[in-house]
Amino acid sequence: MTLEQRITEHLSCLYGIQPARYLAPALVQMVEQTRHHLPPRPYRPLTNGDVMLITYADQVLDPEQPPLQVLGSFLQRHAASDVRAVHILPFYPWTSDDGFAVVDYRAVDPRYGSWQDIERLGSRFDLMLDLVCNHTSSQCPWFQRFLQDDPQYRDFYITVEGSPDLSRVIRPRTTPLLNEFPGVAGPRKVWTTFSADQVDLNYRNPAVLRTMLEILLEYVRHGARFIRLDAVAFLWKEIGTTCLHLPQTHRIVQLMRTILDHVTPDVRLVTETNVPHAENVSYFGDGTNEAHLVYNFALPPLVLHSFLTGQARELTRWAAQLRTPSPHTAFLNYLASHDGIGLNPVRGILQDHHIEALVRHTRAAGGFVSEKALPDGSRAPYELNINYLDALSPPEAAEPPGIVARKFATAHAIALSLPGMPALYFHSLFGSRGDRAAALATGIYRRINREKLGLSRLETELADPSSLRAQVHTALRRWLALRRSHPAFAPAAPQIVHESDPRLFVIERQDPHSGQSVLCIHNLSGDAAVYAVPGPVRGCELTWHDATTGSSIPNREVNGTLRLEPWQTWWGLPPQEPSL
């Protein structure tokens, strides 16, 4: 099937056969022009060396340099050997939601730097850029021209006439779904899924789809190797439905995948759908036609639950069935990000009283809880807004830095041991506590985990081996190095999750090429535990590594049992010399 035929098929499902035949040639021309202006970038499978860092463009500040330049030089010094990819959160001009209310998709906010700075980062790291595809800022020129009744933008946004029944609509907010804006043709009731400043685009208008595809390809030209589709689950709206995961939404993702596969097969689509696990994985499609990577949204609350209860039963049961539909797809395994810890992904995995316990713990630990509106008008907890280090070790608990670092490192060792590609938030890799004062001062709960750090202070704390920041950073770097040392940790390498002492999470990963296995034992409790070590695993005698401390023990010296101190992790690898 030709590219035009494939594009026509997608467009037919969205707009009908005749409009599709009219629209497809122009899209094909746009795609081919992009392909001819790009150097060849062949498909490269993800390996155990692929790790992503999530960061804001202005995460590190120095008054002498633009933030993107400061970030680039800082990461070159402190992360170049640890991560291969960098997700720069929206750096376009914006008006709210810390970047996710975009004014101009094609510009770099001059407060941060320039496209040259972005491309310079892209020469050192594989970049992930955000396509904020569901909505724009209310100050976006497109929306202003919509309010002026400009014919080109008259149908660019979703408006609602009268008072239709919208009770089935699912959304993660308690703010009004519709907001009225004054226009030259009279007041317009506009769909606003996330806030009054984030107005939803109308994908029923083919011009909207074409514009967003142009922007997608522009990001590829600027060097993106990953494209994150922000809030993609809400794209298509049909009154009388949930307006979530509609078939047309999946078809748009498929169209994007078709285009990227043709233009540059090494660019991967990543879908951001903070929904129950079964719905989340639907964005893999058949394993070849939708997202390459899907955020593993159930992982953060599951790991937190496991540490709070000191047992791994639910985590073990869930991980045992963790699968993707093809070796070309993978989970993006993370524990913390710029957002909070979503609760929807574990509904159906954790019992209600477990979720309620997470909510109580978050508030007691100094965090906040965001709510969503339910169709019946009630509210339910949606997201835990708390720094992940604080969630595991609340500051008021005054645990010794060594214990705090050990717990945090073990939590991340779990994420690093699972099939998929790991993603670490900047504040996690560099050992930050939460910024409760910023959340209280602004009323924006997510700001608790979005502190911007001064370069001088950050460098000073990292250089002090006794600081919590340095201890966390050193421990995580060691675990990342250990993961890089063996191909059994490749994203698509098979796994076996072992039932064991309920306090332990035990996972075996296998290198399909050599047949060698690694065995990872994580103690999630505050008690010491003993693990009965098997004989040679897949014919190999293992060496046991605790990367938090940098210690190693040959299997012959453990005498059949491996002792794990509270919150300790041991990974058993075939004998080698990993760079710790």
Q: What is the DSSP string of 68-96?
A: HHHHHHHHHHHTTTT-SEEEE---S-BSS
pLDDT of residue 43: 87
Per DSSP bridges, beta strands 85-88 and 52-55 are parallel
Can you read off the two tokens belonging to residue 355? 């979720």
pLDDT of residue 555: 85
Q: Does position 143 have pLDDT exceeding 80, yes or no? A: yes
Backbone angles phi, psi at 403, to 5 degrees: -70, -45
Q: Does position 72 have pLDDT exceeding 90, yes or no? A: yes
Q: Does position 522 have pLDDT exceeding 80, yes or no? A: yes
| Rounded percentage of the chain residues whose pLDDT exceeds 70 | 98
Dihedral angle computed from the Cα positions of residues 26, 27, 31 and 34, in that order, rounded to the nearest 10 degrees: 60
Per DSSP bridges, beta strands 293-295 and 268-271 are parallel
Give residue 580's pLDDT band: very low, low, confident or very high (50, 70, 90).
Answer: very low
Mean pLDDT of 58-84: 97
Give the CA distances from residue 325 to residues 6, 233, 286, 419, 542, in Å, rounded to whole numbers and listed in that order. 22, 19, 6, 13, 31
Give the CA distances from residue 119 to residues 43, 98, 350, 502, in Å, rounded to whole numbers and listed in that order. 20, 22, 43, 48
pLDDT of residue 537: 66
pLDDT of residue 576: 60
Q: pLDDT by residue (tens digit) across 393-446?
A: 999 999 999 999 999 999 999 999 999 999 999 999 999 999 999 999 999 999
Mean pLDDT of 147-163: 96
Across the chain, what does the average pLDDT equal?
A: 95
Number of neighbouring beta carbons within 10 Å of residue 314: 18
CB contact at 8 A, 288 and 326: yes
Mean pLDDT of 342-370: 97
pLDDT of residue 539: 59
CB contact at 8 A, 280 and 295: yes
Q: Which residues carry a binding-site annotation? A: 97, 135, 228-230, 338-339, 446
CB contact at 8 A, 184 and 151: no
Q: Does position 542 have pLDDT exceeding 50, yes or no? A: yes
Residue 177, SS3 per DSSP:
coil
Give residue 556's pLDDT band: very low, low, confident or very high (50, 70, 90).
Answer: confident
pLDDT of residue 578: 43
Backbone angles phi, psi at 398, to 5 degrees: 50, 40
Handedness of CA 124, 75, 420, 294 (dihedral sign): negative
Q: Which residues are catalytic?
A: 230
CA distance 113 to 92: 10
Q: Does position 30 have pLDDT exceeding 50, yes or no? A: yes
> Assign residue 128 a region: left if phi > 0, alpha if psi is -120 to 50, beta otherwise?
beta
Mean pLDDT of 179-198: 96
Q: pLDDT by residue (tens digit) across 209-259?
A: 999 999 999 999 999 999 999 999 999 999 999 999 999 999 999 999 999
Mean pLDDT of 553-571: 92
User: Which of 388, 476, 379, 384 minimizes the C-alpha distance to 430?
Assistant: 476
Q: Does position 41 have pLDDT exceeding 90, yes or no? A: no
Residue type present at position 234: F
Give residue 333's pLDDT band: very low, low, confident or very high (50, 70, 90).
Answer: very high
pLDDT of residue 192: 98
Give strand ranges (E) for 119-261. Answer: 126-132, 135-137, 178-181, 188-191, 198-200, 224-230
- The verdict on pTM exceeding 0.85 is yes
CB contact at 8 A, 486 and 576: yes
Q: Does position 5 have pLDDT exceeding 90, yes or no? A: yes
Q: Which residues carry a binding-site annotation for substrate? A: 97, 135, 228-230, 338-339, 446
pLDDT of residue 571: 97
Q: Does position 28 have pLDDT exceeding 60, yes or no? A: yes
Residue type present at position 128: M
Mean pLDDT of 518-544: 88
CB contact at 8 A, 289 and 252: no
Domains of the chain (ranges; CATH) run: 489-573 (2.60.40.1180)
User: Which of 475, 309, 318 minimizes the C-alpha distance to 392?
Assistant: 309
Handedness of CA 423, 245, 283, 346 (dihedral sign): positive
Q: pLDDT by residue (tens digit) across 506-515?
A: 999 999 999 9
Residue type present at position 476: L
pLDDT of residue 176: 95
Per DSSP bridges, beta strands 52-55 and 126-132 are unpaired
pLDDT of residue 374: 81
CA distance 119 to 113: 11
Say which residues have a Cβ less than 8 Å from residue 81's Cβ, sequence separation at least 6.
481
Task: Mark 400-431 as b/e (b = at least 16 C-beta within 10 Å).
Answer: ebeebbbbbbbbbbbbbbbbbbbbbbbbbbbb
pLDDT of residue 579: 42
